Amino acid sequence: MSGQIIGLHDWLETPPGRYLLAWEQAAFDRAVADVFGYHALQMGVAELEGLRASRIQHRWLTLDEPRSLQRAPQRVALVNDFSALPFAENSLDLVLLPHALELSPDPHATLREVERVLVPEGRAVICGFNAASLWGLRQRRARLYRRLGLGRLYLPAEGDFIGYWRLRDWLRLLSFEVESGRFGCYRPAVDSDSMLGRFSWMDPAGERCWPILGAVYFVVAVKRVRGMRLLETRWKSKPAIASAPVSVASRGRKRPIAEPAHAAPAAPLTSSQGTR
């Protein structure tokens, strides 16, 4: 990886970038496979086909710069500001944000916009670089050396990384509920494919021994609406039975429902009484 890495798109073509992209592609495939709905949106990173395993019919890709259109010729792409999406309120069932928050100039506004366009119980899938990792440690050290005119950055220079727990706080303030969260890419910050291959054993070991130190985090959040109750679909409805009162004529002598215990028995009817 020679030269200074400037943007995320150029960085994804490097050995660590391809390694990261492969892990994220597999993570998005698992996350969206069982999400149902009508409309889905991916925000940024045209190199990633985050919705390829989705069953949702209507899918869009929105980018923040026109030059990224050539990276996604097979999908419907839009170019717009992430903090002003061209979708109506409560209109999307699924929104993917691969590194969209950390690359956005206003991540708070971007996340609020995602909350606006999502339907109740809709899902937002977010991934970003983890500052508390070997990659994040090398990036912080490189930023310090860069101020002195030495060295180069390991990760993309654009954007501001957002911590995992900080992101969870933001989601909680917007009434999102974190459904799942995980980390990945535990190999050290090396530059070549051969070195990355030598440390392949660190991926399964990292998930068991140091799970929160992965180079990237992956979060699935659900939009909750307070006071809302989802009603189940009634596929088979039974006809209502009429319950109007019906009078029934009785020819017999009406009998009381109950007689007092101390009441004397009625006198028998004599012949003389019957002729009167």
DSSP letters spanning 211-266: GGG-SEEEEEEEE--TT--PPPP-SS-PPPPP---------SPP--S---TTPPPP
What confidence score (pLDDT) does residue 32 get?
Answer: 95
What confidence score (pLDDT) does residue 64 get?
Answer: 76
What confidence score (pLDDT) does residue 141 get?
Answer: 87
User: Are the C-beta atoms of residues 25 and 46 closer than 8 Å to each other?
Assistant: no
What confidence score (pLDDT) does residue 276 get?
Answer: 43
Q: What is the mean pLDDT of each run of 10 residues along the chain (276 residues)?
A: 64 94 96 94 92 92 73 66 90 96 92 96 96 91 77 81 93 94 95 93 93 95 79 55 54 51 51 46
Q: CA angle 116-119-120, nearest 5°?
A: 105
CB proximity list for 37: less than 8 A, separation 6 or greater = 56, 92, 93, 94, 119, 122
What confidence score (pLDDT) does residue 63 get?
Answer: 86
Taking alpha carbons only, the member of 142, 90, 97 closest to residue 119 is 90
CB proximity list for 176: less than 8 A, separation 6 or greater = 115, 124, 221, 222, 223, 224
User: Are the C-beta atoms of residues 159 and 102 closer than 8 Å to each other?
Assistant: yes
Third-level CATH fold of 8-223? Rossmann fold (3.40.50)
Helix axes 164-173, 107-117, angle to 10 degrees: 50
What confidence score (pLDDT) does residue 160 get?
Answer: 80
Question: What ranges do the domains of the chain cover?
Answer: 8-223
Distance CA 146, CA 153 (A): 8
Structure tokens that stand for 79 in this block: 């170019």
User: Are the C-beta atoms of residues 187 and 216 closer than 8 Å to each other?
Assistant: no
pTM: 0.77
What confidence score (pLDDT) does residue 59 get?
Answer: 93
What confidence score (pLDDT) does residue 241 get?
Answer: 53
User: Are the C-beta atoms of residues 184 and 27 closer than 8 Å to each other?
Assistant: yes
Taking alpha carbons only, the member of 79, 84, 97 closest to residue 42 is 97
Distance CA 242, CA 240 (A): 6
Structure tokens that stand for 87 in this block: 């979708």
